């Protein structure tokens, strides 16, 4: 008789966004005349930029001709895309990352889960709290997290690094030494960042204690402040302790066509074992990455036209962020984020829990956001609004909230 992976059974029953979906559907069914404004899910809404669409069309036509047809992609991904990333995202920022240290993927979510397969199940994991839930969930599936306590909403073997107003939503070095440290800046859901000096402290710490940092840079395109690093490889010594996850979803709107990459420097070793070599054997090599057509679209992100069009798109979302942030401040809310990230993090008023505030907003003004507690125990009492909607909806949502 076959057995299932018991670790999956430990996962709490309902996924955050499916609970939200059910609540919104029930509200809409009971109030069919009410219009709902969704500022909840972190998906983009603007269409793909013209430079990307042009590149997609061209690549599709290439597939129709035997002379330019492409089958399986090379296992790291196409050189044209890896070189464009190495040049634009690393060399131009003074970072020492070569094209053959970049593994193209179908997005940061898959790789943030898959990457932990190359690490021992005995490793102790540290995560920011709150943070993108995929890091903890995938370590639960791997059996690295112990047991879940529904009262504290914590896993027994996970080191939680609280990111609260008191520490400017930036984690402090943990008291207990971790083996794997997940960092995500700009952070989802708090929208917070850390400075290059602060990140350097993490790199020095990881090198000192022999930990690996898995650094999620999915939102780096939204950074507007000078002293905030766009990549962990801006820090000295990161080549021996860090893996970076990158995504084309938030900077270029690839959420529906899927593209990302994972950077593993050749200097990152566990004893004599090269992590770069281990990852070269990952599941789905050749089959699981992005198709040729999508990699060509990714190349267009780095063309002059692509860069200009995407700067405009990011500016559009960040103008929404500013509108939401300022509007909430005027309405008397305590807010943060929204400057280097498309996320606005607000403290719920009157000591409401995150879910109480969710219901309050939905039932009174038809605005949907995301309860902070869905991102970790320290998210309780907070709420996330996103700037990924339209400008008109961002303004309308704020007008409604101000009337509360
Ligand atoms: N990393 C973070 C921090 C995210 O918030 C998200 C999506 O919301 C992802 C990764 C997923 O990126 P991708 O679409 O490339 O899988």
pLDDT digits (tens, 9 = 90+) for 242-300: 999 999 999 999 999 999 999 999 999 999 999 999 999 988 766 668 999 999 999 99
Pairing mode of beta strands 343-347, 335-337: antiparallel
CA of 96 to the centre of ligand 1 (A): 24
Q: Is 342 in the pocket of ligand 1 (CB under 6 A)?
A: no
- Report how far residue 316's alpha carbon sits from residue 174's, in angstroms, rounded to the nearest whole number: 37
CA of 122 to the centre of ligand 1 (A): 26
Q: Which CATH architecture has domain 6-47+305-402?
A: Alpha-Beta Complex (3.90)
pLDDT digits (tens, 9 = 90+) for 121-140: 999 999 999 999 999 999 99
Q: Is 108 in the pocket of ligand 1 (CB under 6 A)?
A: yes
Mean pLDDT calculated for residue range 182-195: 98
pLDDT digits (tens, 9 = 90+) for 354-389: 999 999 999 999 999 999 999 999 999 999 999 999
- Report how far residue 67's alpha carbon sits from residue 279's, in angstroms, rounded to the nearest whole number: 32
CA of 3 to the centre of ligand 1 (A): 31
* Pocket residue to mutate for ligand 1, from 16, 42, 108, 375, most atoms within 8 A of Cβ: 108
Q: Where are the chain's structural domains?
A: 6-47+305-402, 53-303
How many CB atoms neighbour CB 50 within 10 A?
12
How many CB atoms neighbour CB 210 within 10 A?
10
Burial state string for 173-199 with b = 16 or more CB within 10 A and e = fewer than 16:
ebeeebbbbbbbbbbbbbbbbbeeebb
Q: Look-up: residue for tokens 């529906």?
A: 256
Q: Is 107 in the pocket of ligand 1 (CB under 6 A)?
A: yes
Is the Cβ–Cβ distance between 24 and 32 less than 8 Å? no
- Report how far residue 382's alpha carbon sits from residue 386's, in angstroms, rounded to the nearest whole number: 13
Reference 268, options 279, 281, 260; nearest CA is 279
Reference 371, options 391, 385, 390; nearest CA is 385
Q: What are phi and psi of 55, to 5 degrees?
A: -70, -40
Q: Is 372 in the pocket of ligand 1 (CB under 6 A)?
A: no
Q: Is 138 in the pocket of ligand 1 (CB under 6 A)?
A: no
- pLDDT computed for residue 12 by the predictor: 80
Q: Measured from the CA of 184, which atom of ligand 1 is nearest?
A: 3
Is the Cβ–Cβ distance between 119 and 180 less than 8 Å? yes
Q: Measured from the CA of 254, which atom of ligand 1 is nearest?
A: 14
Q: Is 249 in the pocket of ligand 1 (CB under 6 A)?
A: yes
Burial tier of 404 (Cβ tally within 10 Å: 0-12, 13-18, 19+):
exposed
User: How far from 332 is each of 87, 296, 324, 404, CA to CA, in Å?
Assistant: 45, 47, 12, 11
| pTM for this predicted structure | 0.97
Q: Which CATH architecture has domain 53-303?
A: 3-Layer(aba) Sandwich (3.40)
pLDDT at 14 over 80: no
CA of 272 to the centre of ligand 1 (A): 32
Q: Measured from the CA of 187, which atom of ligand 1 is nearest?
A: 3
Share of the chain above pLDDT 70, in %: 99
Q: What are phi and psi of 371, to 5 degrees?
A: -65, 130
pLDDT digits (tens, 9 = 90+) for 43-81: 999 999 999 999 999 999 999 999 999 999 998 999 999
* Pocket residue to mutate for ligand 1, from 43, 250, 301, 317, most atoms within 8 A of Cβ: 250
Cα atoms in the Cβ-side hemisphere of radius 13 Å centred on 156? 6
Q: Measured from the CA of 255, which atom of ligand 1 is nearest?
A: 14
Q: Is 218 in the pocket of ligand 1 (CB under 6 A)?
A: yes
Average pLDDT score over the chain: 96
Mean pLDDT calculated for residue range 334-346: 98
CA of 108 to the centre of ligand 1 (A): 5
Q: Measured from the CA of 131, which atom of ligand 1 is nearest?
A: 3
- Taken as a whole, the chain contains a residue count of 404
Q: What are phi and psi of 189, to 5 degrees?
A: -105, -5
């Amino acid at each position: 008789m076959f057995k299932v992976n018991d670790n999956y059974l430990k996962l709490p029953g309902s996924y955050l966004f499916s609970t939200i979906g059910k609540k919104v559907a029930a509200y809409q069914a009971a109030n069919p005349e009410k219009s709902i404004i969704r500022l909840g899910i972190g998906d983009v809404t603007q269409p793909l930029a013209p430079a990307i669409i042009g590149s997609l069309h061209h690549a599709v036509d290439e597939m129709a001709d035997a002379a330019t047809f492409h089958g399986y992609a090379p296992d790291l991904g196409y050189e044209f895309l890896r070189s464009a990333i190495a040049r634009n995202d690393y060399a131009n920022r003074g970072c020492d990352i070569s094209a053959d240290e970049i593994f193209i993927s179908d997005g940061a979510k898959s790789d943030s889960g898959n990457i932990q397969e190359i690490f021992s199940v005995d490793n102790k994991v540290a995560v920011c709290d709150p943070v993108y839930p995929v890091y903890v969930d995938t370590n639960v599936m791997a059996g690295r997290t112990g047991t879940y306590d529904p009262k504290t909403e914590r896993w027994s073997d996970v080191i939680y690094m609280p990111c609260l107003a008191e520490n400017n939503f930036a984690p402090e070095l943990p008291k207990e030494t971790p083996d794997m440290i997940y960092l995500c800046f700009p952070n989802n859901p708090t929208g917070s960042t850390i400075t290059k000096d602060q990140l350097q402290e993490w790199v020095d710490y990881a090198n000192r204690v022999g930990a690996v940092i898995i650094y999620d840079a999915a939102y780096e395109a939204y950074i507007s402040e000078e002293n905030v690093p766009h990549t962990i490889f801006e820090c000295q010594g990161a080549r021996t302790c860090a893996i970076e996850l990158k995504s084309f979803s938030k900077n270029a709107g690839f959420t529906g066509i899927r593209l990302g990459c994972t950077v593993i420097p050749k200097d990152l070793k566990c004893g004599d074992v090269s992590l770069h070599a281990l990852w070269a054997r990952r599941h789905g090599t050749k089959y699981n990455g992005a198709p040729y057509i999508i990699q060509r679209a990714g190349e267009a992100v780095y063309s002059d036209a692509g860069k200009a069009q995407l700067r405009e798109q990011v500016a559009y979302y960040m103008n929404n962020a500013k509108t939401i942030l300022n509007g909430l401040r005027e309405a008397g809310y305590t807010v943060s984020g929204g400057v280097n990230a498309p996320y606005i993090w607000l403290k719920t008023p009157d000591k409401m829990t995150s879910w109480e505030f969710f219901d309050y907003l939905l039932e009174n003004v038809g605005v949907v956001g995301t309860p902070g507690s869905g991102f970790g125990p320290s998210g309780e009492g907070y709420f996330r609004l996103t700037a990924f909607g339209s400008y008109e909806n961002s303004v309308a949502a704020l007008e409604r909230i101000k009337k509360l």
